Amino acid sequence: MKRALVSVTNKEGIVEFAKGLEELGFEVVSTGGTYKKLLEAGVKAIEIDDVTGFPEILDGRVKTLHPKVHGGILFRRDVEEHVKTVEEMGITPIDLVCCNLYEFEKALKAGKPMAEMIENIDIGGPSMIRSAAKNFKDVLIVTDPKDYDAVLEAIREDKTDFEFRMNLAYKAYSLTGSYDAMISRYFADQVHDEFPDILNISLKKTDHLRYGENSQQSANAYVDPYVQHSLLDYEQLHGKEISFNNVNDLYGAVACVREFGDQLVTVAIKHSTPCGVAIGKTGYESYKRAYEGDPTSIFGGIIAVNYKIDKETALEMKKTFLEIIAAPDFDDDALEVLEKKKNLRLLKLKNLDARDAKYDIKYLEGKALVQELNTKLIDEMKVVTKKQPTEAELSDMEFGLKVVKYVKSNAIVLVKDGCTLAVGGGQTSRIWALENAIHNNPDKDFHGAVLASDAFFPFSDCAQVADEAGIKAIVQPGGSIRDQESIDYCDEHDMTMVFNGYRHFRH
């Protein structure tokens, strides 16, 4: 008779699985709470103590760590010496292991104290799983309740071939690898190691995407389970499936919205670059102003807001072709309006103020760059010119910096009264970014606007072009060895310049 060892924390479907194994001629051995559940359900399970001849001890910390367990799993059936050893020692072969792990992730997300976190670190489970997975040629290792039916069917039809078994082993090692990665990160946080020598990040697939940035590229979406509240947690209320580019653009839009706190703001993104950003006294006013900031580029773009969308705003949004509208909530009549557009994706944002993630990671074909997220905006607003900025200009300077953080470098943002007038980004020269912003918006009046730059001016040319367009207020990080040239130009032309102290490159 074949023997199965069943020991699970997640008991979903375990009774039906164990009964199925019994019907297929398996003897079922079990532990602790699993054993009790199976017994109550009428499964003729054998308690692990009766196999090992040793009781569970230390509050269940030690129950399967025994030669009669691991010997029964690990011996090679095709090695005569192995077979002889287990026979001499009275070890019964174990042909199937069904196991999943203590709920460390659940305890973490519940904010349990360290003592409870420690008790949720599984020892025996990963050991059994790894043993069975190592010997997958002879032992079936089952870790996912979703596989129960397939495993029973394969045994019933005698189709547990090498490939089937190896796939189960692959899933098993993926489980233990992810589990250990989460524990490693927990301890890294406890000892305040922000950049560990070994950074364990395990990702879980959530969605298969239609394609990547381009149709010839395959793509999937993954989630980092260690990040409890993601900025990109949302419920899709309507529209076709989300694409790779949609998610990438959505992140830029929502992250920019987060910069504005309680101010009602609308952010329009096109190809991961803000094309219209505006605050307003109402959501409707905010959206209208953002739209007017660049009514050309917003076509086919993404909208993210931090207010509940009402019918009036929805009717205005409906006039333009948009890929996504993301908001904390929608009025019912607003949904009724927007859902008339079949493909328009409507997303209900869940964690607009989320700050749990701490890494910005770029994976570059086998190399990875890991940095902190750029969470700081201003070090000090230091006026470096004779002319002092007005309160309105200072307000627009801060607004402009919040937007410029999300524009590809070299980046320039032109702002007036809490609304973007023009955005120039992704240029290899800063003066080109400024000239593009101005020349691409010939109908805009830039008199009284503020210029925000993501990095310092190496020359006075940007100050000169701004002055010629009617812009008299500039905010930039400062720090160039030639800062004085720009300061002198501003002083000579009755302009104000403020250094904010932080550079905001985005590559």
Residues with a catalytic annotation lie at 134, 271
Check if the beta carbon of residue 182 is closer than 8 Å to that of residue 190.
no
Judge contact between 277 and 297, C-beta under 8 A: no
3-state secondary structure at position 106: helix
183 Cβ contact list (under 8 Å, min separation 6): 104, 121
Reading phi first (left if > 0) and then psi (alpha if -120 to 50, else beta), residue 418 is in left
* Measured distance CA(278)–CA(303) in Å, rounded: 12
Contact 284, 304 (CB under 8 A): no
Q: Distance between CA 132 and CA 138 in Å, rounded?
A: 8
Asked if 447 and 436 count as a contact pair (C-beta separation under 8 A), the reply is no
> What are the residues whose beta carbons fall under 8 Å from the beta carbon of 172, sequence distance 6 or more?
129, 130, 132, 133, 141, 143
Residue 467 has which token pair? Answer: 């002055």
Residue 346 is classified by DSSP as E
CB 208 within 8 A of CB 222: no
DSSP string, 46-96: EEHHHHHSS--BTTTTBSS-SHHHHHHHH--TT-HHHHHHHHHTTPPP--E
The CA distance from 368 to 195, in Å, is 13
Nearest-angstrom CA–CA distance, 158 and 155 = 5
* Closest CA relative to residue 356, chosen from 104, 191, 111: 111
Rounded to 10 deg, the angle between the 14-23 and 148-156 helix axes is: 10
**What span, in angstroms and rounded, lies between the C-alpha atoms of 95 and 491?**
84
Q: Residues 201, 169: contact at Cβ < 8 Å?
A: no
The C-alpha atoms of residue 311 and residue 304 are separated, in whole angstroms, by 16
> What is the spatial distance between Cα 439 and Cα 76, in angstroms, rounded to a whole number?
75
Taking the CA atoms of 242, 248, 254 and 258 in sequence, report the sign of the dihedral they define.
Answer: positive
For the chain, the 3-state helix, strand and coil shares in percent, each to the nearest 5, are 35, 20, 40
Q: What are the strands, taking DSSP E only, across 107-182? A: 140-142
